[in-house]
Every structure is written in C-alpha cells, then in structure tokens.
Chains A and B, each alone.
Chain A
Amino acid sequence: MSLYIKRLKVIASTMDGDYGVDIPFEKGLFILRVENSHGKSTCMNAIAYALGMEKSLGQKNSKLPFPPSLTKSIDNKDGIEIGVLSSRVYLELENSKGEVVTLLRHIVGGDGETIIHMANGELDMFSLNPKVSLFLHKEGDTTRERGFYYWVGKFVGWVIPNIPLYNGKDAPLYPATFFPTYYVEQKKGWSSIQATTPQVFNIRDPKKRAVEFILNLDVNDIIIKRAKLKTAIEEVNTAWIVNYKKAEVISNRISGKLTGLMDKPESKFDQYRVDFSINENDRWESVQSLITGLKEKQLRMLISGERKNEIEDENIEVLKKIEERQRSINEIGEKNSEVSSEISFVEHQITATEKRISSLAEDRRKYEDLKKVGESNIFNGDDIGEGNCPTCSQSYSDNLLDSSTNESLMSVDQSLNYIKEQIKTFSSALVNSKSQYEYKKAEYSKNLVSLVELRKGLNGLNRSVRNTSESIIEDKLREKIQLENKIESYTDAVCELFKLRLKFDELHTKYTDLIAKRRKMPESYLSEIDNKKLNYLQTLLRGYLKEYGFSSFSADKLEISKDNYLPTREGFDIGFDTSASDGVRIIWSYLLSLFSLSLKFETNHPNLLMFDEPRQQEANKVSFSSLLKSVSKACGEKGQIILATSEEVSVLRDSLVEEKYTLKVFEKNDGKILRKLHS
C-alpha cells in the first residue's frame, strides 16, 4: 500500500498568460528548497488541496488555503498586479501497483469546491485522456462509486473502516481525519502531534481512530466485532420490546396488568412466571385462577336457574337490584376519581424523578472531568488548585458562589460517591413509581369497564321496571352472557400469552448467548500483534529522539500510551513540559516512526510523509538539517518523504553527505515560485 507523488503543477491564468509552477518529484527523500514567503507553503497546500484534504490544514473556516496570487491577483516580473482569471492544480500520483493517475482540482473559477477530475495516465496526457468527475464534501463521498474519498481509498488500497460518531451512529472514517499522520502543516501543524485533525465530522476521538487506522491495529476489528454484537443485542432488545408491547395490548384488552415480565431482556427469565393479573374485588389475582372461579360461578348459575323457576315478589326484587347497582356505581365512581388523582400524582413523581436523575448524571460527569483534571499535572504549581488567592494569598473556599463561607464542603471524591449513591436511590424509586403507575392504570380501566357494564344493566332494569318478570329473566340472561364473554376473552388472552411466552423464551436464549459472547471478548481492545506494533513504535521513537538530541528529559522515559497511542511520560501526555524545539523533535520523530513501522509490519501507512517547515521565527528553534540524518535511510527504496524548507543549500548538502536524496532549489534571485509559464 503506497502513495507516491510524481508531479505537481499549479497554474494561475491571467490576461498576461499562464503563471505557475511545475515540480517533478522523486521517490525517497525529496527536499524542496524555497526562500521563506516565496511560495513554499502554497506548493505544499496545493498537494493537500488536490487530494481533497484542505479540512486537515487547521483552518477554522472553509477559506481556500492559498495566497492572493492564486485567488485574486499576481505580480508580474515588473511588479505590476494582474488579475487572476482562474487557477487550478494538477497532481500526478502513483500507487503500489504502478498505476498512474492525474488529478485536476480548480481553485478559482471552476467546480473545485465539490468536484475533482481524475484521468488515468500522466499529467502531460491529461487533456487527451478520458476524465471522471469525482465529488467531495457531499453525502456519500466516502461510500459511493463516484465519491472522491471512496476513490482515494480504492486507489491507495485502503479498506476504510466504520467508526462510531457522537450521535451513536457509525460512519466511514474520513481520509481527512488521518491526513495529519503523514502531513504536517506549516502554521499549526507543529504545535502538537496531529494538531490539524479536523473536528467537524462528529467523530469520537478522531486522533485515536486515525492512529489505529494508520497502524492497522486489530482494535479496529475488535471494535467492529463489538459493534456487531451490540447491534445483535439491540435487535433482540427491539424484538423483545415489540412482543412486550403485544402482551401489553392483550393485558389492556382484559384490563389487566402484565406480571413476571420486564420490558427488556434480563439475565434471569422464567417463562412460566409470565401472567396477567386482574384486580377483582380489590385483590390482584392471576387470570388463570380467575377463569377457574368464573367457570365455577357459571356452573352455580346453571344449577340455581334450574332449581328456581318461580319468582316471588318480582317488583321488590327488581327495586332491590336497582338500588344495589346504583350503590356500586357510586362506589366505583368515587374510587375511580381517587385512582385518577393518584395516577396524576404518580405521573408527576415520575417526571420529577427522571429530571433529578438526569441532572445528577450531568453533575457526575462534571465531577469525573474535574477529578481527571486534578489527577493530571495541568495545573501543577498554579494557585487555582491550591485555594489561595493569587494576589493576596488569602485562602478562599472551593465554592465560587460564596468564597468567604466557612461551610465545609465535600471533597471531589466524596461528592462523586454521594452523587452515585443518590442516582442509585432515585433510580430504584423510579422503578417503583413506574410499576405503581402501571397498576393504577390497569385498575382505572378495569373500573371504567365495570361502570359501563353496571350502567347498561341499570338502564335495562329501569326500562322494564313494570315488566318485572321479564326484566329479571333478561337480567339473569345478561349476567350469564357477560360471564361467558369474560371467560372467553380471558381464555383468548391466555392462549395468546402462551404463544408469546414461547417467543420470549426463544429471545431470552438468544440474548443470554450474545451476552456470554460479549463477556468472552478480550478486556483490552489491543491484540497481541497490536501490542507488538506499539512496542516497536516506542523503540523507534526513542531511537530517533536520541539521534536528534532530544534534551528535555531522557528519551527512555518516554512511553507510547496504550490509551491514545501518543508519547507519554509516566502516564502523562507530554507537550507541556518539553521545550519548543523538543516539541518539534517529538512530532518529527513520531511521524517518522509511524512511517518506519510500515517497513516491518503490515500497516495502512501510505509510505508518504510530507513536512512543511515552520515559519522562520519558529524555525530557528531547531535546525531542520539535523533532523534529516537517518531520514533518507528510513525512507529506503519504498517510500517518499517530502520536506519543504528554507535552510541554506550548503547546510543541507553538508548534513546529507553520502545519503541518497533529491534536492530541488528555487533560487531567491529568480523571485517567487509562481512564475510565468512558457508554453
């Protein structure tokens, strides 16, 4: 897997003809020597721009990464300004299979914002060869056939993995995310490792994901495996919820409450405990035992009906019944209004508890952050963590709202424990309230149904108060039918539940299997080969640092963190406690180590490394020529390292005696690098 830059051509068309620069590159170490502010960064940025990586140049807005000479106007030989009509950049590339392509991207006056044109073959043949338009910065640019990043991945030989986003979804890793692992930009690139990694793609830990991909760590596979497992578990969860809802619908139909079943799968589950309970005479009873009771009642009714055919004093009987029904209607109505107010109280309680839990969780996150900050060495030696006023040295409390108070506050650890306990308490209260809510709801709807039934009966009795014997028969009949209906609907519900139980049982088996698999996944995400790679990276880094005269502390104290794959010292990120020049040495050595690692292990590194030397006022902190030692060796036959520098030619030659390299010099006397092109 490799990417080799063969030729760059930048053109600005003006009324006075074409201006621009044409640079043929070579494999191995390639040094582009240009005077400061003469167009060095323009060339380097043009490479990034042609590769569609301008978002990785550390610019906050979407401004073009070019000076006015390519976007507005250019000075000619005599110093007269000429307006730029259009400008574009051509880039000739080669991959590990030896395929050569040329890319064209317009800068001004064209479709450069979203389109890159690609043709097979060399740059000189570009206008003759058939072209393909590839789109970028639009949805699908990493996944669709005509997406530019999709094409780049295919051309270099990358299998772009899917990685998790902030919103919980996942998406392909944007190549712009790992561009800073092989390209260092001039202005911001030297402030820290991968300083210009774009944050706009909503990717969680983009820098970490970038190194994982570049080193081809198995972590990626494990993350993907975990993600698959997670999706499978989620599928089971969804199926469970669907069936749970079905069971709930059935239980609502018979005004009951589902018991013995949680709304999501748990480790313990017994299908025989799943049942409906129904509130009968203020007691919650299982539907199974209710059916038995109802059947007994039905039988008793049949027997009494046969025995008693004669009716005495029917009128009184009917009136008694009316009175009785009226009383029960009143009772149930009163009870239901009580239940309804209880429901609204429980509802309010649930919302309040949920709100409380979410605010506690938010506070817990903040305290965890605070604890991490406290454990790091960021504020070591400052007064902020000490509780003393930096001006008058008086002590103040750890509460910004009232700094003079003598009230003793909980420590951070105490607060965290306290908050965790509170969350536990409130969560269990929430579970209780929710189940209480369900019970009340079921009771309410059951009462409503019985109210309707009672009113129907009452109407019938009232209507036929005169025709008593008939009405009593009718009443008996209605009671009988109601009983039959009830038995039927309960039995139906039990039958349906039986089917659902089998489904739940099947889902539960699946769920326990998946959970067991998840438990078997390795604790650490890193595989054995990953650890080997990281250890070798550490050896390489220490070696390079020693060679380049790293002096802030002993290079042997540096370690590659297994957490974020960056160099750390005693578990702390470095970059704050090193000198500025050592900062540059670390970035240089780290990226070079990533590059060199690909010679020994299978990685995704494109075997290409591009450095744009820092601006002059910062550059004198470290001599770049000293960093060149061993670079050409590291480069070997396989890769390409491009360095844009303003170091004196003689210094460069001296430091690279007996080494293989290509030096392209643009003399200061010839003016800026963008010159009139002679066609």
Chain B
Amino acid sequence: MKIEELINRPFTFKRRDVLIPCEFRPMWKSCLIIVIFGITAKKNKCSLKKLHTASWLVKSDEHLSDFIKWAEKKVLVTPDVRFDPSIDKAVDLLVGNRILIKAEGKLEITELGMEKFKGIEAVGVFVEEMHRLNVSNKFLSEASVERLLRAN
C-alpha cells in the first residue's frame, strides 16, 4: 500500500479508557480510612495527621519496617512521611456521607462508620492493610505521630 493511499483516507481517533491506580478510587480510599479508624482510633477519634501517617504506613512493608524501627528507637533516621492529597478528598466525601464527623479539631467515626468497618472485616478484604495496622497499632499514638512529624 502506498503512503498516499493511506493519507488520503478519512481516519478517526478513539479515546481509550484510562487505567488509574486503585488507590485513587474514592471507594477504595474511603474503605482504607474506615479501616484505619476501626483499628487505630482511640475513643473513635483520630487526628488528620495520624490518618495521613497510617495511610503512608500501610502502603508498603518498607514503610512499616522503617516506622517500627524508628518507634523502637533502633534507628535514629526519621522516616519521611508523605502526605497524600487524595486522603483529604476522601475524608470530605466520608464527612458528607456522615461516616466521619469533624469534632474538636479531630475526626471521629460515627456508629454508621463502625458498622461499615465491621462489614469490611466480614468480607475479608484489606487483609494486608489490616495486618500492617495491627502490627504498628501500639506505636501509633497521637503523641508519637506528633513526634514523628515534628522530627521531619
């Protein structure tokens, strides 16, 4: 086939659907936040800073081990916690749905939210994330999060 023949024909472009990482799906992120509250919240409350730290923590085993080594004072290097802007958007969505409420500068999970958490637990998903949170839970106090972020 000659090149002229190709060019002289009419042609169209088709826009393909785009793949995005699952983390950026609102539903996935919302579930993650509910799981974080379900496991780590004290009296159902949790600060935004702690939420961000926990979300960074469950991203990979390296993050988890970096954090635990720091918390157990085995290393002096403070891990770099990255804040994920999509968390804030998902929080807004959850607040809009009355799964979270903003109270006294912190976020609080409602009874509806805790019901959702039990639902997520029962379906048997987010296993890795829950495991990482369970392992790190005893180090995830508001005070230690504050110390971690101040050191950065």
B31 CB contacts on chain A under 8 angstroms: 369-370, 373
B8 to chain A, nearest CB (A): 31
Contact A573 B86 (CB under 8 A): no
Closest to B116 in A: A378
Contact B27 A370 (CB under 8 A): yes
B120 to chain A, nearest CB (A): 6
* Any B CB within 8 A of the CB of A655: no
* Any B CB within 8 A of the CB of A565: no
Instruction: Report the separation of the CA atoms of residues A573 and B119 in the bound assembly, to the nearest whole angstrom.
Output: 8
CB contact under 8 A between A407 and B128, given known A378-B120, A379-B116, A401-B86? no
B86 CB contacts on chain A under 8 angstroms: 400-401
Contact B17 A414 (CB under 8 A): yes
Contact B27 A379 (CB under 8 A): yes
Partner of B131, one of A166, A385, A396: A166
A 197-230 to B, binary, CB cutoff 8 A, 1 in contact else 0: 0011000010000000000000000000000000
Partner of B123, one of A192, A378, A399: A378
Contact B115 A398 (CB under 8 A): no
Contact A398 B26 (CB under 8 A): yes
B137 to chain A, nearest CB (A): 7
* Any B CB within 8 A of the CB of A289: no
Residues in A361-418 with C-beta less than 8 Å from chain B: 363, 365-370, 372-374, 376-379, 382-385, 389-391, 396, 398-401, 403, 407-412, 414-415, 418
* Any A CB within 8 A of the CB of B25: yes
Instruction: Report the separation of the CA atoms of residues A357 and B29 in the bound assembly, to the nearest whole angstrom.
Output: 22
* Any B CB within 8 A of the CB of A576: yes
B84 to chain A, nearest CB (A): 9
Instruction: Report the separation of the CA atoms of residues A412 and B134 in the bound assembly, to the nearest whole angstrom.
Output: 28
Closest to A367 in B: B22
B 79-96 to A, binary, CB cutoff 8 A, 1 in contact else 0: 000000110011001101
Contact B27 A385 (CB under 8 A): yes
Instruction: Report the separation of the CA atoms of residues A367 and B97 in the bound assembly, to the nearest whole angstrom.
Output: 23
Closest to B126 in A: A369
Contact B122 A575 (CB under 8 A): yes
Instruction: Report the separation of the CA atoms of residues A222 and B152 in the bound assembly, to the nearest whole angstrom.
Output: 51
* Any B CB within 8 A of the CB of A60: yes
Contact B138 A390 (CB under 8 A): no
Contact A564 B124 (CB under 8 A): yes
A200 CB contacts on chain B under 8 angstroms: 134
* Any B CB within 8 A of the CB of A127: no
Does more than half of chain A's interface fall in helix, strand or loop, or is it mixed?
Answer: loop
* Any B CB within 8 A of the CB of A341: no
* Any A CB within 8 A of the CB of B23: yes
Contact B118 A575 (CB under 8 A): yes
Contact A576 B123 (CB under 8 A): no
Contact A410 B19 (CB under 8 A): yes
A401 CB contacts on chain B under 8 angstroms: 20, 24, 85-86
B 27-47 to A, binary, CB cutoff 8 A, 1 in contact else 0: 111110000000000000000
User: How many Cβ-Cβ contacts under 8 Å join chain A to chain B?
Assistant: 114
Contact B96 A383 (CB under 8 A): yes
Contact A384 B26 (CB under 8 A): yes
* Any B CB within 8 A of the CB of A61: yes
Partner of A398, one of B25, B99, B134: B25
Contact A363 B22 (CB under 8 A): yes
A396 CB contacts on chain B under 8 angstroms: 26
Partner of B26, one of A61, A368, A400, A419: A400
Instruction: Report the separation of the CA atoms of residues A337 and B39 in the bound assembly, to the nearest whole angstrom.
Output: 56
CB contact under 8 A between A366 and B122, given known A382-B97, A383-B97, A400-B89? no
Instruction: Report the separation of the CA atoms of residues A200 and B116 in the bound assembly, to the nearest whole angstrom.
Output: 23
A411 CB contacts on chain B under 8 angstroms: 17
A384 CB contacts on chain B under 8 angstroms: 26-27, 30, 93-94, 97, 99
* Any A CB within 8 A of the CB of B73: no
Contact B20 A399 (CB under 8 A): yes
Contact A418 B27 (CB under 8 A): no
Q: Report the count of interface residues on A (CB-CB < 8 A).
A: 50
Partner of A376, one of B24, B99, B123: B123
B90 CB contacts on chain A under 8 angstroms: 400
Contact A199 B27 (CB under 8 A): no
CB contact under 8 A between A408 and B26, given known A60-B137, A575-B122? no
Partner of B128, one of A363, A365, A377, A566: A365
Contact B118 A576 (CB under 8 A): yes
CB contact under 8 A between A409 and B17, given known A369-B28, A382-B97? yes
Contact B27 A374 (CB under 8 A): yes
Contact A373 B118 (CB under 8 A): no
B120 CB contacts on chain A under 8 angstroms: 373, 378
Contact A366 B18 (CB under 8 A): no
Residues in B54-104 with C-beta less than 8 Å from chain A: 85-86, 89-90, 93-94, 96-97, 99
A370 CB contacts on chain B under 8 angstroms: 22, 25, 27-28, 31
B123 CB contacts on chain A under 8 angstroms: 372-373, 376, 378, 573
B131 to chain A, nearest CB (A): 6
CB contact under 8 A between A400 and B122, given known A391-B96, A409-B18, A418-B19? no
Contact B29 A415 (CB under 8 A): no
* Any A CB within 8 A of the CB of B48: no
Contact A192 B27 (CB under 8 A): no
A 478-503 to B, binary, CB cutoff 8 A, 1 in contact else 0: 00000000000000000000000000
B22 to chain A, nearest CB (A): 4
Instruction: Report the separation of the CA atoms of residues A576 and B30 in the bound assembly, to the nearest whole angstrom.
Output: 18
Residues in A180-205 with C-beta less than 8 Å from chain B: 191-192, 199-200, 205
Closest to B93 in A: A384
Considering residues A199, A205, A373, A400, which has the most beta carbons from chain B within 10 angstroms of its beta carbon? A400
Instruction: Report the separation of the CA atoms of residues A412 and B17 in the bound assembly, to the nearest whole angstrom.
Output: 11
Contact B15 A408 (CB under 8 A): yes
A418 CB contacts on chain B under 8 angstroms: 19
Contact A403 B28 (CB under 8 A): no
* Any A CB within 8 A of the CB of B21: yes
Instruction: Report the separation of the CA atoms of residues A655 and B86 in the bound assembly, to the nearest whole angstrom.
Output: 57
A621 to chain B, nearest CB (A): 14
A408 CB contacts on chain B under 8 angstroms: 15, 17-18
A373 CB contacts on chain B under 8 angstroms: 27-28, 31, 120, 123, 125
Instruction: Report the separation of the CA atoms of residues A26 and B42 in the bound assembly, to the nearest whole angstrom.
Output: 40
B124 CB contacts on chain A under 8 angstroms: 205, 372, 564
Instruction: Report the separation of the CA atoms of residues A418 and B131 in the bound assembly, to the nearest whole angstrom.
Output: 28
B7 to chain A, nearest CB (A): 29
Instruction: Report the separation of the CA atoms of residues A365 and B131 in the bound assembly, to the nearest whole angstrom.
Output: 14
Contact B96 A376 (CB under 8 A): no
Contact A390 B125 (CB under 8 A): no
A61 to chain B, nearest CB (A): 7
Contact B27 A363 (CB under 8 A): no
A656 to chain B, nearest CB (A): 33
CB contact under 8 A between A407 and B28, given known A60-B137, A373-B125? no
Q: What are 21 A-to-B residue pairs whose CB atoms are below 8 Å?
A: A61-B138, A192-B118, A199-B134, A363-B21, A369-B126, A370-B22, A373-B120, A373-B123, A378-B119, A382-B97, A383-B93, A383-B97, A384-B26, A384-B93, A398-B20, A400-B26, A400-B86, A400-B90, A401-B20, A564-B122, A576-B118
Which residues of B line the A interface, CB within 8 A?
15, 17-31, 85-86, 89-90, 93-94, 96-97, 99, 115-116, 118-120, 122-126, 128, 131, 134, 137-138
- 4 closest A-B pairs by beta carbon, nearest first, are A390-B96, A366-B22, A400-B86, A378-B119
